[in-house]
Amino acid sequence: MTLTWIGRGWAGRFVGAALILGVAGCGVITSQPAPSSPTAMPESTPVASSDPTVTPLPPTGTPEPPLAARVNGEAIYVSDYELELERYRASLAAQDVDPDSQEGQERLNEARDQILDVMIEQALVEQAAEEAGVEVTDEEVDQYMGEMAAEAGGEEVLLTKLEAWGETYEGAKREVRAQLFGMAMMERVVSDIPESAEQVHARHILVDTAEEARHIHAQLEAGADFVALARAHSQDTSTRDNGGDLGYFPRGILIASEVEEAAFSLQPGQYSDVVMSPLGYHIVQVVERDPDRPISPENQRLLRERAVQDWIEELWAQAEVERFIEVSP
* pLDDT tens digits, 191-224: 999 999 999 999 999 999 999 999 999 999 999 9
Structural element, H or E, at residue 310: helix 297-318
- Beginning with the edge strand found earlier in the chain, give each strand of the sheet holding 275-277 in spatial order: 245-249, 196-207, 280-294, 275-277
Do 131 and 188 meet the contact criterion of CB atoms below 8 Å apart? no
Mean pLDDT of 169-184: 90
Q: Which of 253, 232, 243 is nearest to 287 (CA)?
A: 243
pLDDT higher than 70, residue 5: no
pLDDT higher than 60, residue 47: no
Amino acid at 34: A
More confident residue, 206 or 64: 206
Which residues are within 8 A (CB) of 147 and not within 5 positions of it... i.e. 6 or more apart?
none
Which residues are within 8 A (CB) of 38 and not within 5 positions of it... i.e. 6 or more apart?
66, 68, 78, 324, 325, 326
Do 64 and 315 meet the contact criterion of CB atoms below 8 Å apart? no
Residue 161 pLDDT level (bands cut at 50, 70, 90): confident
Provide the b/e sequence for 121-154 (b: ≥16 CB within 10 Å).
Answer: bbbbbbbbbeeeebebeeeebeebbeebbeeeee
Which residues are within 8 A (CB) of 232 and not within 5 positions of it... i.e. 6 or more apart?
none
Amino acid at 244: G
Do 216 and 229 meet the contact criterion of CB atoms below 8 Å apart? yes
DSSP letters, 3-61, are -B---------SSSSPP-------S-----PPPSSTTSPPP-PPPPPSSTTSPPPPP-S
Residue 240 to residue 282: CA distance in whole angstroms = 13
Q: What mean pLDDT, rounded, does the chain reach?
A: 83
